[in-house]
């Protein structure tokens, strides 16, 4: 019986030849990531359990990236940053990317890729459910709670139950009006927000491998919205090219066996798919854009680890160029690298940043922004009964601030088309 990619990676990190779904195993961890929300309580547990003078298991394998509640005057948020700074200084951590300095990078899930921490064949854990983003690079990556993270911080190991794998194959060439966001929302709509609970979501097929690494990250990022343990895509030359330009570290790509056994296999013909949204208040509340077209909006939001990468903004800019938004439209780059690209790269002679400004968008600092709501002074946060279309990854009540707001999730193309009309709009109506 053959093994899936996830099984083979976990087996190798457990010193085993093979593992079976449902087995509990100890695995060696290559990278642990935490941020300003979960970092302080993880550190507290680490010190309590291992001792005030204990050292982290390997300071080169611990990455700390503040990104959530950072551009705010909230005293609790500011205190969390101070706690991270003190810990990073105490342990002489080389991979602490402090806000307010030249080392600051932005959203951890995007910055992990940009800084070369996503290496095929590795095992990466993070104190954030969207850590599964890194699986786009052919590694096992998932989120854990603070207690588990503290255990890794002290030992470099963690107890893991081997997940079953669900395989999703996207065949054909992706039409220009579809993006990875449409693909993953279709999957979540099909299987439900609990349909992948504690399973690997593995993505395959021509349409997937035609995607850029940034777009693949959108697929794996939202595996958790179906309850998935992790998302994963087999590495290829695009993967290797991306990684090799960002790190000299060695890596070992892993591939499934041809006779690998899957819990479920679903096949999609992308030529027959349409742009979709997730209606309030669940990511599996899917509808085609045509079914909800004309819904009046108060706000549009382009950003987050799912929708704040350079290619997300380029797609939106091609629609916004020469147009004006009819609703408040907030643009939040996921990383400082993306922010730099928006200010340097051009579209028909204008920087992408200027295209957004000319369209009337409000531009924010690289961060999570309002994706997680945040303190009341968070850029783009909802405060009332706003109806929002957003490139973010969750839309339950209060996710973007106000519990009375209604959030539709969509691709950057759909969000941009909707912003210039002030109502939900099919991007096929404006693409030229």
What are 198-208's pLDDT values in tens digits? 999 999 999 99
| Residue range 349-353: mean pLDDT, rounded | 96
155-214 residue pLDDT tens: 999 999 999 999 999 999 999 999 999 999 999 999 999 999 999 999 999 999 999 999
Q: How far apart are CA 141 and CA 131, in angstroms?
A: 6
Per-domain boundaries in the chain: 5-247+261-267, 278-429
Q: How far apart are CA 397 and CA 432, in angstroms?
A: 36
235-281 residue pLDDT tens: 999 999 999 999 999 999 999 999 999 999 999 999 999 999 999 99
| Residue range 307-333: mean pLDDT, rounded | 97
- Strand stretches in 162-224, DSSP E: 164-171, 199-204
| φ, ψ for residue 72, nearest 5 deg | -155, 160
Nearest to 303 by CA among 365, 222, 386: 365
State residue 151's pLDDT score: 98
State residue 432's pLDDT score: 60
Q: How far apart are CA 292 and CA 410, in angstroms?
A: 12
On the question of a common fold for 5-247+261-267 and 278-429, the answer reads yes
State residue 431's pLDDT score: 86
State residue 13's pLDDT score: 98
Banded model confidence at residue 1, pLDDT cuts 50, 70, 90: confident
pTM above 0.85, yes or no: yes
- Residue 230 · residue 132 · CB < 8 Å: yes
Q: Which residues contact 290 (CB under 8 A, 6 or more apart)?
A: 274, 426
Dihedral over Cα of 150, 151, 153, 154: its sign: positive
* Number of neighbouring beta carbons within 10 Å of residue 92: 10
The whole-chain average pLDDT of the chain stands at 97
CATH number assigned to the domain with residue range 5-247+261-267, chosen from the 4 options 3.30.499.10, 3.40.50.300, 3.40.630.10, 1.10.150.310: 3.30.499.10
| Residue range 9-14: mean pLDDT, rounded | 98
State residue 177's pLDDT score: 97
69-119 residue pLDDT tens: 999 999 999 999 999 999 999 999 999 999 999 999 999 999 999 999 999
Distances (CA, A) of 330 to 105, 282, 327: 20, 22, 10
| Residue range 221-247: mean pLDDT, rounded | 97
| Residue range 353-382: mean pLDDT, rounded | 95
Q: Is the peptide bond before 281 cis (omega within 30 degrees of 0)?
A: yes
CATH number assigned to the domain with residue range 278-429, chosen from the 4 options 3.30.420.40, 3.90.1200.10, 3.40.50.970, 3.30.499.10: 3.30.499.10
In three-state secondary structure terms, 118 is coil
């Amino acid at each position: 019986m053959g093994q899936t990619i996830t099984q083979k990676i976990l087996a190798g990190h457990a010193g085993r030849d093979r593992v079976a779904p449902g087995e509990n195993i100890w695995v060696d961890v290559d990278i642990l990531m935490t941020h300003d929300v979960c970092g302080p309580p993880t550190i507290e547990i680490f010190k309590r359990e291992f001792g005030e003078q204990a050292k982290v298991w390997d300071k080169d394998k611990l990455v700390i990236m503040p990104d959530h509640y950072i551009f705010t005057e909230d005293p609790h948020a500011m205190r969390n940053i101070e706690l991270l700074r003190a810990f990073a200084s105490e342990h002489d951590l080389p991979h602490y990317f402090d806000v307010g300095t030249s080392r600051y990078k932005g959203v951890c899930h995007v910055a992990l890729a940009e800084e070369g921490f996503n290496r095929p064949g590795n095992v990466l854990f993070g104190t954030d459910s969207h850590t599964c983003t890194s699986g786009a690079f052919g590694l096992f990556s998932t989120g854990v709670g603070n207690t588990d993270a503290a255990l890794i911080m002290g030992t470099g190991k963690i107890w893991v139950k081997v997940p079953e794998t669900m395989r999703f194959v996207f065949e054909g060439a992706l039409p220009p009006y579809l993006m990875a966001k449409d693909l993953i929302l279709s999957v979540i709509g099909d299987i439900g927000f609990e349909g992948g609970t504690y399973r690997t979501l593995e993505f395959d097929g021509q349409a997937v491998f035609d995607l850029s690494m940034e777009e693949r990250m959108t697929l794996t990022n939202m595996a958790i919205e179906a309850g998935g343990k992790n998302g994963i895509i087999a590495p290829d030359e695009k993967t290797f090219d991306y990684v090799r330009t960002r790190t000299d570290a060695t890596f070992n790509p892993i591939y499934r066996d041809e006779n690998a056994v899957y819990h479920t296999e679903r096949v999609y013909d992308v030529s027959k798919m349409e742009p979709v949204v997730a209606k309030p208040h669940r990511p599996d509340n899917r509808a085609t854009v045509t079914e909800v077209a004309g819904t009046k909006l108060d706000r549009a939001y382009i950003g987050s680890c799912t929708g704040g990468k350079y290619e997300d903004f380029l797609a939106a800019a091609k629609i916004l160029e020469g147009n004006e938004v009819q609703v408040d439209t907030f643009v939040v780059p996921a990383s400082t690298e993306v922010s730099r690209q928006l200010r340097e790269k051009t579209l028909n002679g204008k920087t992408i940043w200027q295209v957004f400004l000319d369209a009337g968008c409000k531009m924010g600092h690289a961060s999570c922004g309002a994706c997680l709501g945040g303190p009341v002074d968070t850029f783009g946060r909802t405060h009332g009964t706003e109806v929002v279309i957003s490139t973010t990854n969750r839309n339950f009540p209060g996710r973007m601030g106000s519990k009375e707001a209604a959030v539709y999730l969509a691709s950057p193309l759909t969000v941009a088309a909707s912003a210039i009309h002030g109502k939900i709009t099919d991007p096929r109506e404006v693409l030229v």
